Structure 1
Amino acid sequence: MERRRAFAEKYEIVKVDYAMIDNPFAGRVICGHCGSPFGRKVWNSTDETLRRKIWRCNKKYTNKGEKSCGNKHIDDRTLYQAFIDIFYAILENKEHFINKWRQQGGDDLLQKYKIEQFTELFREAILLSKFDIDLYFKLIEKMTVVNGEKNNCDFVGWHRS
């Protein structure tokens, strides 16, 4: 609980647990330029096929009409795909990552517990055919976006960039 409170304070997030099935990235997508959370916006159109969900730094326009942050927006579908791509990359190299995680263990019991959970999860993991919300919530604490591209993911509780 303390780790989550510190995370919310660091990124000025009102509530970390408001990510839901229909909005799993809420409070977890962080701007790589200014450190603020990204918020989901909907670009509406009279043509429903042109309607888009995007994510943009919440501090992009702090003053009306003036850009305060130069980071670009990122499409909602790109975030879903980024999770799948990173999951595949780890799965393909799981022995390498399992060894690195174990080396990072140290004396922190919570960290050791999370490493064992991750190790077991990746030993049993199979390829995804689509975004897996349960797996996402087990693994991802935050995603950092720089210039409209996914930069890195911090896995829950133990990996920090």
Structure 2
Amino acid sequence: MQSYLELARDGKKEMWEAVQLEMDRRKTFAEKYNISKLDYATVDNPFDGRVICGHCGSNFGRKVWNSNNERLRRIIWRCNKKYTVKGEKSCENKHVDDTVLYKAFVSVFNEMVENKEYFMEKWKVGLQSENFLIRYKTKQFIKILKNAKVLEEFDIDLFFRIIEKITVFEGEKIIVTLLDGIEIECEIE
């Protein structure tokens, strides 16, 4: 495997620069939302470190309600600052069901597919950017959307490739932010 310096010498300077900018972006994101490690998200828990409170700016944590009764078991996401002092609410934002986050992603991706021309035009501008990361992400988004079809269910690989964060506002709306900064609003049903 080549080192970053070897990649740069081999004419891959643009990729090397994009990687450096991506590492900086992730570090800044983690610091801004007080996330100890952005790589905690897994196949079983893809939203970890990516769900943000629209009320106070903290990140949401995954909670399991009724974990002893499978029939009543429910996974929700709640602001980690909701109860900083036991018994006292610090953040008034409402929780959101896990299923809502899955549906929000599918809805956003399908909106992108249905409005493909709009997004392609936006990304053409990104191809001209001086920023290597923006150009790389733009190429990636164009490639993904070029032949994309409407999703029927959550696609975890696609989620990790295009989503930066999901911001929850008072349990009424969600704003999904793509890795290129585009924000798409969803209503919570």
TM-score when normalising by structure 2:
0.80
Q: Which residue of 1 aligns with 2:176?
A: 153
Aligned equivalents of 2:43, 2:67: Cα separation in 1? 24
- Unaligned 5+ segments in structure 2 are 1-22, 184-189
Aligned equivalents of 2:173, 2:99: Cα separation in 1? 12
- Offset at 1:128? 1.6
**Is the aligned partner of 1:41 residue 2:100?**
no
For each residue in 1:86-114, what CA deviation from the matched residue of structure 2 results, as whole angstroms up to 9, or x when unmatched? 00011100110111122345321210111
CA contact (8 A) 1:82 1:150 kept: no
16-25 or 40-49, which moves further after superposition?
40-49
Q: Let me know the Cα RMSD of the aligned residues.
A: 1.4
- Unaligned 5+ segments in structure 1 are none
- Offset at 1:65? 0.5
Task: Give 2:101's match in structure 1, choosing from 64, 75, 79.
Answer: 79
**Is the aligned partner of 1:144 residue 2:167?**
yes
Amino acid at match of 1:59: K
Q: Which residue of 2 aligns with 1:126?
A: 149
- Offset at 1:50? 1.2
Alignment of 1:64-103 (within 5 A): 64-103=86-125
- Offset at 1:150? 4.2
Amino acid at match of 2:52: I
CA contact (8 A) 1:53 1:75 kept: yes
Of the two, which has the highest radius of gyration? 2
**CA distance 1:67–1:5, shift in 2 (3 Å):** same
**CA distance 1:7–1:89, shift in 2 (3 Å):** same
For each residue in 1:6-63, what CA deviation from the matched residue of structure 2 results, as whole angstroms up to 9, or x when unmatched? 1000000000011000000000000001110000000016542111000000000001
- Percent identical: 57
Alignment of 1:105-120 (within 5 A): 105=127, 106-120=129-143
142-151 or 41-50, which moves further after superposition?
41-50
Aligned equivalents of 1:57, 1:46: Cα separation in 2? 23
Aligned equivalents of 1:73, 1:38: Cα separation in 2? 9
Aligned equivalents of 1:139, 1:68: Cα separation in 2? 32
